[in-house]
Structure 1
Amino acid sequence: MLSTPQKQRIALSAYFLLSGICFSSWASRIPTLKTNYNLSEEELGNLLMIMPASAIIGIPLSGWLVAKFDTRTPLQIASVAFLISLFSLSWNLSIFGIAIALVLFSVALRIINIAINTQSLAIQEKFEKKIVGSFHGLWSIGGILGVLFSTVMLKYNISIYWHFLSVALFGCLIIVTMFPFLIKNDRAKVGTKFKLGKPSRYITLLGLMVFFAAICEGGMYDWNGVYLKEVVKQDVFTYGYLLLMICMTVSRLTIDKLMERFGMQKLYITGSLMVMLGVLIAVVFPTLYPVLLGFCMIGFGVSGLYPMTFILAGKSKKYSIAIVMSIISTYSTVGMFLGPPLIGYLAHAFGLQKAFITFIIAGFMFIPLSKMVFSHLKKSV
């Protein structure tokens, strides 16, 4: 017989899994949309720029939701909106229609990220061993399942309409069956008043770390397929995404043990170096196997940055966990959606290979930022 915390962990795991499936389904079919609408790199970049702008617009909404309700309520509403927006991206819409769908997609994803990460920290308190990394590992497993399904759809020439409809129906099954088991009555009683202004230095540093992590992840999610298709000249362009997600999953499923053995500070430095080296290999040697090796290294390097930073965010005392997650997720969501259009603009100006150097710069930033974070923690003890 499963205990209540175990049921809550399983239910939340299902939402992490579903989020990964939906996001990778979208990201792995971006080349399809680019082809269907005959978009240049610059035009695709313009379209993707809608997403960070929408995430910023969603700040007041998400802040109000986490202060007003238990996290399970906005999580359920946002999950439904997420599935609807994903499915609508497969319709034969105008560019304006695609833009509207992307607005809903990005705002819903922002709310989901806040809710599931807030619940993950609440569930962590009920277990002695670290489990936050396993939740993010399940998100990556969802990413693998999503890109595997996308690969099958591409191989057998199944239209994006039936592809996204299948994902949406599966998502409906998840949210109907798992919602009753999510944590209830977790709305914070104090620290829920979020005021626009300068946050604490500690929160700002954490926000910047997830921002640069999101630049790497978001850019790699959206452009690795295009890189394989247009630079490496591969017809089945989902192989890179698949390997990237496999490496991220393996790393995230072991990150809890790695944190206990080596400590977060060493893992931040190691992750930074692996991201930079992986991108360098992919840029300097633009053939299939070196590029796939580079993508694997990027996956291993970037994978632990999110769970570690969210754990550190739980140590903040200025706001409730939900509000801190809202602030941190703002940086994350903007980075996740800013990276892809930024790469698009740079690719249009300098070529996609040179544009990937952006990831080297983003990867380097974890070294000074993590040092400042741990220096702050030592002073506050």
Structure 2
Amino acid sequence: MSLQKSFLRKIIGSFHAAWSCGGIIGVALSTFMVKFNVAMPIHLSIVAAVSLVCIGSSFSFLLSGDKTTGGSKLKLGKPDGYIFILGLMVFFASLCEGGMFDWSGVYFKEVVGEEIFTLGYLTFMVFMAISRFCSDLVIEKIGMPKTYIISSLMVVFGVLTVVLFPYFWPALIGFSVVGLGIAAVMPMTMGLAGESPKYSPGMAISIVTTYSVTGMLLGPPLVGYLAELLGLKIAFLLFLIAGLMLYPISRRFFKRQEKLQNG
């Protein structure tokens, strides 16, 4: 948040896009190693070495003297309404993201019938990265309320396309649209958390991140359970529900903020 303030414009989407690019590079590297039968110990050693180099080289770019720790101390009990609603939004967004990360490849292999099973995940990640690079500009043009609504509708449309037309090109288009739609939700919501009237940016983002991690962890096993019970196509409707929930929750949040501002 301190860095964004120094830029005088929204840049959080670009940071999340960089994370998505890391995922794309990871998938591409793993696909290459699997194709050439690289032994798993060597595979993991290369990943660990590259990660250590990236982490070590980033320390020199950290902000010095960052003072964003003020605000109320966290207390157990009734959750703050502002943070709770944001938490719900990232929970459903992360449930969708986490499930897509783990199951898009499986869907492509078992339902679509494609041997290159990483293609579903890669398509989702590429379009999510593209969307995140553009998200800051889009938000400045049309505002956050409309962006949340568009994101929700795109996720619903993308999942319906994947489920109703489980063939190569429709599935690619569906995963692309889901990636484009879900991309902006996380950076937008984290940015709003950083503007919490009660907690410091660091504390507020940490609380909201807890909701996010919960959704990320619950998504894959929920899809697995539903797939075992009802089939993978039906299980993917969980992502549709998660995307659909973003619409009423985001509207509730902005109506609440408007009411508070108007006294």
Query: Fold-level match, TM-score > 0.5?
Result: yes
Q: Establish whether residue 363 from structure 1 lines up as the match of residue 235 from structure 2.
A: no
CA contact (8 A) 1:143 1:245 kept: yes
Deviations 1:105-161 (A, max 9, x none): xxxxxxxxxxxxxxxx12111112221111011111111111111221222222333
Q: Which has the larger displacement, 182-191 or 226-235? A: 182-191
**Other structure's SS at 2:114 match:** coil
Alpha-carbon distance between aligned partners in 1 of 2:114 and 2:38, rounded to the nearest angstrom: 19
Q: Counterpart of 1:127?
A: 7
Alignment match of 1:351 (pick from 231, 238, 246): 231
Q: What TM-score does the superposition give when structure 2 sets the normalisation length?
A: 0.95
- Alignment length, in residue pairs? 261
Alpha-carbon offset, residue 229 of structure 1: 1.6
Runs of at least 4 residues off by over 4 Å = none
Amino acid at match of 1:249: A
Amino acid across the alignment from 2:256 = H
Instruction: Give the alignment of 1:57-72 within 5 angstroms.
Output: none
Per the TM alignment, residue 187 of structure 1 is displaced from its structure 2 partner at its CA by 5.6
Cα distance in 2 between the residues matched to 1:127 and 1:362? 33
- 225, 231, 236: which is aligned to 2:111? 231
Q: What per-residue deviation string (whole Å, max 9, x for no partner) do you get for residues 202-258 of structure 1?
A: 111100000000011000001111111222222221111111111011110011110
Matches within 5 A, 1:161-172: 161-172=41-52
Within 2, Cα distance between the matches of 1:247 and 1:373? 27
Please give the alpha-carbon distance, in whole angstroms, between the structure 2 residues aligned to 1:190 and 1:248.
33
Look up the match of 1:317.
197
Secondary structure at the aligned position of 1:198 is classed as coil
2:6 aligned counterpart, secondary structure: coil
| Distance change (3 Å), C-alpha of 1:284 and 1:322 | same
RMSD across aligned positions (CA) = 1.3
Task: Report the secondary structure of 2:7's partner residue.
Answer: coil
1:372 aligns with 252
2:147 is the alignment partner of 1:267: yes
Query: Is 2:175 the counterpart of 1:288?
Result: no
Q: 1:193 to 1:282 in 2, by over 3 A?
A: same
Deviations 1:312-356 (A, max 9, x none): 112211111111111100100000111001001111111111100
1:257 aligns with 2:167: no
Secondary structure in structure 2 of the residue aligned to 1:140: helix
Which aligned pairs between 1:172-321 and structure 2 lie closer than 5 A? 172-186=52-66, 188-191=68-71, 193-321=73-201
Structure 1 stretch displaced more, 215-224 or 162-171? 162-171
Distance 2:69 2:180 in 1: 38
CA distance in structure 2 between the partners assigned to 1:159 and 1:355 by the alignment: 33
1:275 maps to amino acid: V
Q: Matches of 1:218 and 1:366 in 2, distance apart?
A: 16
Map of 1:331 onto structure 2: 211
Contact 1:277-1:297 at 8 Å conserved across structures: yes
Instruction: Tell me if 1:148 matches 2:148.
Output: no
Query: Are 1:192 and 1:323, in contact at CA under 8 Å, matched by a contact in 2?
Result: no
Q: Distance in 1 between matches of 2:139 and 2:120?
A: 27
Shift of 1:186: 3.1
Structure 2's unaligned 5+ residue stretches are: none
- Per the TM alignment, residue 198 of structure 1 is displaced from its structure 2 partner at its CA by 1.8
Q: Is the 8 A contact 2:105 2:118 kept in 1?
A: yes
TM-aligned CA deviation for residue 191 of structure 1 = 2.5
Q: Match of 2:217, as an amino acid? A: F
Aligned equivalents of 2:226, 2:67: Cα separation in 1: 43
Q: For residue 4 of structure 2, what is the amino acid of its counterpart?
A: Q
| TM-score of the pair, normalised by structure 1 | 0.66
Preserved CA contact (<8 Å) 1:213 1:302: yes
